[in-house]
Amino acid sequence: MLLNIFNKKTLSFQELFPDGFYDIHSHLLPGIDDGAKSLEDSIELIQLFRSVGIKNLTTTPHVLGEVWPNTPTIVNDKLDSVRKELLKNNITDINLNAAAEYMLDDVFMELLKDKNLLTIKDEFILVEFSYINHPENVFDIIFEIQTQGYKPILAHPERYNYFHNNRDMYLKLKQIGCYFQLNLLSLTDYYGTYVQKVAVHLLENNLIDFLGTDIHHKKHFSFLDKIGTKKNVRLLRPILRNNEILRNA
């Protein structure tokens, strides 16, 4: 019985990432998307990140047509204000940078033409599809991104329901050089059991390159300690440190 309980032990987030985790996907800049609403909110979320050992963050506000028309200037101004607020609060051990999560829509194609995109590091950009359907000419778009010299990382491929029964699309996207970023919370039941199943499928097939929290608000943190089940630990082990190649000094 005792042995059984031991076997069932779920690792805490910090046990899962004993060297700390570098997060490349979150929504921490105040008032420019559906993440942090105020500067106080931003600081509170960053404090929660610290409490689970995450001190390196590249946060990624949405850039979505006219809904969230965030430019590099807007993002960098907000980043500055959060960095200043961190100092005011005597928080000096956080390495906070900012990029974006680009919805692949018509507005994005214009930004791409101008090569006016925020990268996580080097040429890597974080992109997302609509939850209703993927872009019609998705392969052409990925090719165009690459032609312009960028490397696309698709955010949370496991969350697009229209791929769940069309899993060949995952292979096709990978074959043309699209990188995949899994949401860690997808390995819990947070987004539902089907997303969880597909997350496992993607890891089992070695299709995931990077990991992210995609944290928008406080509630998300309570799920971080549910990720480290024995099965998940086995699946995550080979890629636990992959994000490091996207790390800014």
* Contacts to Fe ion by CB under 5 A: 101, 214
**21 and 53 Cβ atoms separated by less than 8 Å:** yes
Q: Report the DSSP pairing between strands 56-59 and 95-98.
A: parallel
Q: How far is the CB of 101 from Fe ion (least distance, A)?
A: 5
Q: How far is the CB of 55 from Fe ion (least distance, A)?
A: 20
Other C-beta atoms closer than 10 Å to the C-beta of 82 total: 22
Task: Return the number of the residue (101 or 158) whose C-beta is nearest Fe ion.
Answer: 101
Look-up: residue for tokens 């609509």?
Answer: 130
**63 and 100 Cβ atoms separated by less than 8 Å:** yes
Task: Return the number of the residue (182 or 230) whose C-beta is nearest Fe ion.
Answer: 182
CA torsion sign, 170 to 192 to 35 to 120? negative
Q: How far is the CB of 246 from Fe ion (least distance, A)?
A: 16
Task: Return the number of the residue (11 or 48) whose C-beta is nearest Fe ion.
Answer: 48
Task: Return the number of the residue (102 or 237) whose C-beta is nearest Fe ion.
Answer: 102
Give the DSSP letter string of 185-214.
GGGTTTT-HHHHHHHHHHHHTT---EEE--
Q: How far is the CB of 131 from Fe ion (least distance, A)?
A: 12
Q: Report the DSSP pairing between strands 124-128 and 179-183.
A: unpaired
Q: How far is the CB of 155 from Fe ion (least distance, A)?
A: 6
Residues whose CB is less than 8 angstroms from the CB of residue 152 and which lie 6 or more positions away in sequence, other chains included: 125, 127, 142, 145, 146, 178, 179
Task: Return the number of the residue (101 or 209) whose C-beta is nearest Fe ion.
Answer: 101
